[in-house]
Amino acid sequence: MTTHPAIVLVLGDITEQHADAIVNAANSSLLGGGGVDGAIHRRGGPEILAECRALRAGHYGKGLRTGKAVATTAGRLDARWVIHTVGPVWSRDEDRSEQLASCYRESLRVADDLGARTVAFPAISTGIYGWPLDDGARIAVETVRSAGTAVEEVRFVLFDETAYREFAIQTR
């Protein structure tokens, strides 16, 4: 059944969350990086990277495109899966909002395929990729609210007070 997921906000580190699936703000190489991506691989252990490498050796030879999502094991994280998605780099000249919305939609679609009921998201693209937090929060919340999904709980895990506040504005 598809209804609308409950939206929960948490201030904290996404790698400490228990959820069916934890979403990673990855890059198209799928081979790791800084920010959430670095933290997930560090804490989740080498199993995640091994599956990412296998994806690159198979269907994803050219990497994962911006706005798409793919799942791997969650390794040692307290979750069953990590869903890797690639956010757009923020641009002053080009509106890439649709690509950012697509990250949330596609991650939920993958979660549905897996049968995940609780999904933890970071604020995709709002770190190294430079997306303004207020707009990133708006797109995240609007997209999740309008997505048809069987996921019951979407938890936004915000790393600092500023991010938490922006998501709180969108959900009040």
* CB 109, min distance to ligand AR6, A: 19
Amino acid identity, position 44: G
From the list 37, 78, 95, 160, the catalytic residue is 37
d(CA 23, CA 84): 6
Buried b or exposed e, range 116-151, using 16+ CB within 10 angstroms: bbbbbbbbbbbbbbebebeebbbbbbebbeebebeb
By CB under 6 A, name the binding residues for ligand AR6.
13-15, 25-27, 33-37, 39, 87, 122-129, 157, 159, 163
Q: Is 134 a catalytic residue?
A: no
Residue number, 33 or 45, with CB nearest to ligand AR6: 33
Rounded to 5 degrees, φ, ψ at 80 are -90, -35
Residue number, 14 or 119, with CB nearest to ligand AR6: 14
* CB 151, min distance to ligand AR6, A: 19
Residue number, 67 or 122, with CB nearest to ligand AR6: 122
Token output for 79? 């979750």
* CB 24, min distance to ligand AR6, A: 8
Task: List, in sequence order, every residue forming a beta bridge with 38; answer none if it has no partner.
Answer: none
Which residue numbers are catalytic? 37
